[in-house]
């Protein structure tokens, strides 16, 4: 049964999150809001009218910096007021998505908001630091969010491994599509389940 009593925030966090947010098919439903969150420049690229810039210096790839920026952001708390459900997404492994997303999920949990996360996990070639940062971010999200869908970038690599000429942007494009499908079905699920 459809209900409009829910107020859903769809949040793209960090570079990858905002890329995906920019390519979503936006619904005009009045109870669904879209929000781009970043700690550095890419926010300028977002076509969302609602944006939160929670830092100016960037994170230098360090999730602890992203975490602190998120914890100090009053705007972030304001954005969670009167929200019943959040669908958040990012690429883990860097500083913004990995640092900010768990803070959003934790705050939301404290406020009684349901959180559904969709995240990517870095390619092996991105190295051990990103791997560790991603692992820690996913663990934190699993602690606070109601559901966490992890899309392994490597799984896309498997699909295209025979074509060594496939550029990274093509791989990211495929991953973005997979994220979009997950996000769309979560929005539908949340909208249709009172």
To which H or E segment does residue 183 belong?
helix 168-192
In the region spanning residues 69 to 98, those forming contacts with Mg ion, defined by CB under 5 A, are: 96
Rounded to the nearest whole angstrom, what is the least distance from the CB of residue 69 to ligand GTP in the complex? 9
Which residues neighbour 41 within 8 Å (Cβ) at sequence distance 6 or greater? 58
In this chain, which of 9, 10, 13, 15 binds Mg ion, going by CB under 5 A? 15
Minimum distance between the CB of residue 176 and ligand GTP, rounded to whole angstroms? 5
Report CA 130 to chain centroid distance, whole Å.
16
- φ, ψ for residue 121 (rounded to 5)? -115, 135
If contact means CB under 5 to 8 A according to the sort of partner, which of ligand GTP, Mg ion, none does residue 71 touch?
Answer: none
Partner in contact with 79, chosen from ligand GTP, Mg ion, none, beta carbon below 5 to 8 Å by kind: none
Ramachandran assignment for 65, one of left (phi > 0), alpha (psi -120 to 50 degrees), beta (any other):
alpha
Q: Which does 175 bind (CB under 5 to 8 A by kind): Mg ion, ligand GTP, none?
A: ligand GTP
In the complex, what is the shortest distance from the CB of residue 30 to Mg ion, in angstroms, rounded to a whole number?
31
93 binds, among Mg ion, ligand GTP, none (CB under 5 to 8 A by kind): ligand GTP
Q: Work out whether 55 is an interface residue with ligand GTP (CB under 6 A).
A: no
- Least CB distance from residue 41 to Mg ion, whole Å? 8
Q: What are the C-alpha distances in Å from 74 to residues 8, 35, 53, 133?
A: 20, 15, 11, 25
Going by C-alpha positions, the residue among 107, 85, 73 that lies closest to residue 33 is 85
Residues that bind Mg ion (CB under 5 A): 14-15, 96
């Amino acid at each position: 049964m459809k209900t409009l009593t829910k107020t859903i925030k769809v949040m793209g966090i960090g570079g990858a999150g905002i890329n995906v947010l920019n390519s979503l098919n936006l619904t005009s439903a009045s109870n669904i809001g879209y929000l781009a969150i970043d700690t550095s420049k890419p926010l300028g690229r977002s076509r969302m009218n609602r944006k939160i810039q929670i830092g100016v210096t960037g994170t230098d790839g360090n999730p602890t910096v992203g975490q602190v920026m998120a914890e100090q952001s009053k705007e972030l708390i304001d954005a969670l007021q009167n929200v019943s459900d959040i669908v958040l997404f990012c690429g883990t492994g860097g500083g913004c998505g990995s640092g900010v997303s768990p803070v959003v999920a934790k705050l939301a949990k404290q406020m009684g908001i349901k959180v559904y996360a969709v995240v990517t996990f870095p390619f092996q070639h991105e190295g051990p630091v990103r791997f560790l940062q991603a692992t820690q971010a996913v663990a934190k999200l699993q602690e606070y969010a109601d559901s966490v869908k992890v899309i392994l970038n490597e799984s896309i690599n498997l699909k295209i491994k025979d074509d060594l000429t496939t550029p990274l942007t093509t791989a990211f494009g495929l991953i973005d599509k997979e994220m979009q499908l997950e996000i769309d079905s979560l929005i539908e699920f949340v909208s249709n389940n009172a």
